[in-house]
Amino acid sequence: VQLVESGGGLVQAGGSLRLSCTTSGFTFDDYAIGWVRQAPGKEREGVSCIRTNDGSAYYVDGLKDRVTITSDNAKNTVYLQMSRLKPEDTAVYYCTAARLAPGACTVAAVDYWGQGTQVTVSS
């Protein structure tokens, strides 16, 4: 199983980034794919998640108006578009996969993790 993130980097406050997560080694349509972030000294926080079988998307409160998650099932890839970025969005962003079930879009349900991609937002 592999979840490979890309698209992180350094951006100024107010800017945008699109993160990508390309997966392999499991049946994409059987999983919810999400993004979890961890800032230095803080707990991991679920950002967004999409149920690939029906496209249902979930967002953490406070980010709904700044992030959009989409999936390309033909490419086994999920994207996270982030806009109007703030310095407090600085974190390592991990792609995650959880077998579809009630509660799949929670951090506790994650079966697989990517290696993470750093997002740094400068003020």
CB of 28 within 8 A of CB of 102?
Answer: no
Cα 103 to chain centroid, rounded: 16
Per-residue pLDDT of the chain (123 residues; tens, 9 = 90+): 999 999 999 999 999 999 999 999 999 999 999 999 999 999 999 999 999 999 999 999 989 999 999 999 999 999 999 999 999 999 999 999 999 998 999 999 999 999 999 999 999
CA distances in angstroms from 28 to 23, 77, 99, listed in the order given: 8, 9, 9
Strands 91-99 and 112-113: antiparallel
In the structure encoding, which two tokens stand for residue 51, read together?
Answer: 């149920």
